[in-house]
Structure 1
Amino acid sequence: MRSALPPVTSARLRRIAEYFVAQEELLHEMQRQVEMETAPLAELLIRQQTTMSQTMANLEERLRPLNEYADAEEANLGALEQRMNGAGMDFVARSFSEYLAMQRERIAETRSHIDEQRAPFIRYDEDSRATVEVVLSRFDDDLGSLEQNLSEQRRVMLRMLDAMRSESFASAKELLLGREATMEEMARTGVTDPAEISQRLHTLRSEVATDGGNAHVQQVIAATDASDQRLGAAATSRSRTARALPAGVAPEAEAAPAAPESAGEASTA
């Protein structure tokens, strides 16, 4: 008994699957290695932020007396203005308006000096992060190329998906699926005549929408036509073989092996 046929695969389907597997493995491995190499810089940024937060907290503690002084002066000045206005001392308020304005300017100047104490540290924090960016700027060109390649891959993949969803590709699939359905039906009914199989399969091509002479569909039809012709040629070959055999002998029949002579016949001879 003939052994079962091995599972059928498509080289192109396998190629598509292998591409996505290789792409996934490559991205996963490259991501792992890149993250490993850049992890110290990522950790450095976190350390810088923590250190600067501590430094700014220390500075605020040093500046606390000045902040409290400015807050107290501002509160006292506001209370003084409120009392003068509330007691009907508008003329006094007008007389001291220039003095009050000077006091406000002095408080604002104090707060400005306080902010100036913070400014160098804020700038240093920004410079520290910018320095990390300078270190990583070495890879700007490579990243640009990778991003461009990614964009190109996306464009090609979308183009391939659009082609797979096109009417012409659907027609080609329907043709092959229809041929297989017909072949399955003939297999169930026991048809083994190559000529009949070839003819019935060949008639399916008329049901395919050629999409205005689409080149790909025409290639598929040409391939199925060639397959049908080869199958039909096998029927012609069988017919010639049958005519060459003696009457009553089927082409599939094999000559029976000669029976060995018995021991008695051999001794008589």
Structure 2
Amino acid sequence: GEYQLRLEPPFIPGMEVAGMVRSAPEDSGFGPGQRVTAMAMLGGWAEQVAVPTANVTPTPEGLDDAESVALMGNYQTMYFALARRGALRPGETVLVLGSAGGIGVASIQIAKALGAKVIAMVHRPNAVEFVKSLGVDVVLPLTDGWLQAVKDATDGRGADLVVDPVGGEAFDDAVRALAIEGRLLVIGFAAGQGIPTVKVNRLLLRNVAVIGVGYGEYVNRVPGSQSVFASGVGELVKAGLRPPAPVRFGLANGADALQSLADGGVLGKVVLEPQ
């Protein structure tokens, strides 16, 4: 894919972490032995991680560390994307590209929890049953003619929101798939086909919007904001939302985990666990 932040190696990757507090400032509200989940931004693939207390939240009851890590990154990102940036309303239709990946899975589950109809696009045949198990309303193959299939599934209206973590060749049709006053949420560029562009006159003529979603940048610039979105996800968890079981690798097998992602062998979220 394409990334906005390029680091010179060597560095330790890994953004989301979960585990037990070893030490914390006295006025932080956290103490040794407490189970927490945190946004590290970098350096998470390690046995010990230091993070700002503002980026730490208690791990929800009933979730293990791997499940909580999935909620910290993907689910908070998509709660921020759908509820705040996209201003999703109950009854609207959400179209999700890259639906079998970590962001796609979170998009589906949060959109459904917020009362939306969800159409999921799938480009891996082996992912169809997995995506159906998430409770989507419509599953469509991301093949030639997919735009017309979306139009047919929405009685010609198009989608109120499009979640696009993929970019690449699908982007132009993703814009065309928007209903009047629709919003396309730009989450990333996993296709690795460069950064797509849009002719802004198309946005004007059709009364649609393309909206950037940079959750990490937002929480870095707005102190205390992460707790707001963590609380929103927490309420959905209390109401019954559970991420599907993540794919687990040992911390020493991080290279294998990355290769599995690159090969398309991961459905949902992959996590590394110290051994």
Q: TM-score, normalised to structure 2's length? A: 0.17
Q: Whose strand proportion is higher, 1 or 2?
A: 2
Q: Which one has a bigger Cα radius of gyration?
A: 1
Q: Whose helix proportion is higher, 1 or 2?
A: 1
